[in-house]
């Protein structure tokens, strides 16, 4: 298992600073965010190549990139996928097919599957794999829903990206073993974060509201020791991508990230 850090934490900081910081924190590599205002832009494929080169100079691998690619007609899909392939990034995380409560969900799933058909063709030509992340607010928030989109697809082209933290804090919650069992055929990477729920203020009716937040990896609802033990037993050799989404000052977020990666490394090595 490779342990990498999602670069969203660094915003538009210089690539050199980002690489040096990630290496200093003790990660194996980088999950490169390709989004305007972040480490690389989808409208400038040269950003991808230069960022990957700088990562490798700093001793970091780049096995995974994250994009907002869902509708192939509304995103520079071909150029981004080709740039990732040329840079040696093997897996590209897709964007989201958001759930619209005003439209039948079966129609939304059908539309997402059509998009995935087209994206799969582009990925095969480029020579990369596409990762579908479990994320709240989408028609792939759970293992059961993601299976609807991945069913029948070649795991050489499509990989599943479970994210137990999203399922705990957002929606799509199910027994984590069920998630990994359903998606085992395609399992390629796992989002690593933790969070939970806590009671908040009363509303005017007297009902107690509940709120959620991101917690340290050892402190939330996700049983990471059990999940990592499961992955080890299954000989999982994919990517663990750690997400530092903490609403903390930057320096404090780095401190928490350092604690998190030390914790997950202890679990991985046993």
At 262 the pLDDT is: 98
Is 270's pLDDT higher than 90?
Answer: no
To the nearest whole number, what is the mean pLDDT of the chain?
97
The pLDDT tens digits for 209-261 are 999 999 999 999 999 999 999 999 999 999 999 999 999 999 999 999 999 99
**SS3 track for 52-114:** HHHHHHCCCEEEEEECCCCCHHHCCHHHHHHHHHHHCCCEEECCCCECCCCCCHHHHHHHHHH
Q: Compute the distance between CA of residue 251 and CA of residue 228 in angstroms, rounded to an integer.
A: 28
The topology under which CATH files domain 2-269 is TIM Barrel (3.20.20)
Place of tokens 């981004």: 80
**For residue 148, pLDDT beyond 90:** yes
Note if the pTM is more than 0.75.
yes
What are 16-66's pLDDT values in tens digits? 999 999 999 999 999 999 999 999 999 999 999 999 999 999 999 999 999
* DSSP H/E element including 161: strand 158-161
Structure confidence at residue 248 (pLDDT): 96
């Amino acid at each position: 298992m490779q342990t990498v850090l999602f670069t969203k934490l660094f915003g538009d900081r210089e690539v050199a600073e980002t690489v040096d910081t990630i290496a200093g924190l003790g990660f194996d590599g980088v999950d490169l965010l390709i989004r305007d205002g972040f480490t690389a832009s989808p409208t400038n494929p040269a950003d991808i190549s230069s960022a990957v080169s700088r990562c490798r100079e700093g001793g970091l691998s780049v096995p995974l990139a994250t994009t907002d690619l869902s509708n192939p007609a509304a995103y520079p899909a071909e150029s981004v996928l080709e740039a990732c392939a040329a840079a040696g990034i093997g897996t590209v995380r897709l964007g989201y097919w958001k759930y619209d409560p005003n439209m039948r969900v079966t129609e939304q799933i059908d539309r997402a599957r059509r998009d995935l058909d087209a994206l799969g063709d582009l990925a095969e030509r480029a020579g990369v794999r596409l990762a579908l992340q479990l994320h709240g607010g989408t028609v792939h928030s759970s293992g059961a829903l993601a299976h609807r989109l991945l069913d029948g697809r070649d795991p050489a082209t499509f990989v599943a990206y479970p994210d137990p933290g999203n399922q705990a804090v957002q929606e799509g919650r199910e027994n984590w073993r069920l998630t990994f069992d359903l998606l085992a055929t395609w399992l390629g990477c796992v989002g690593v974060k933790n969070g939970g729920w806590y009671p908040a203020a009363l509303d005017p009716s007297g009902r107690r509201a509940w709120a959620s937040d991101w917690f340290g990896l050892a402190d939330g609802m996700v049983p990471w020791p059990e999940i990592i033990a499961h992955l080890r037993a299954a000989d999982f050799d994919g990517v663990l991508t750690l997400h530092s989404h903490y609403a903390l000052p930057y320096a404090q977020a780095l401190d928490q990230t350092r604690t998190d990666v030390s914790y997950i490394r202890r679990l991985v090595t046993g």
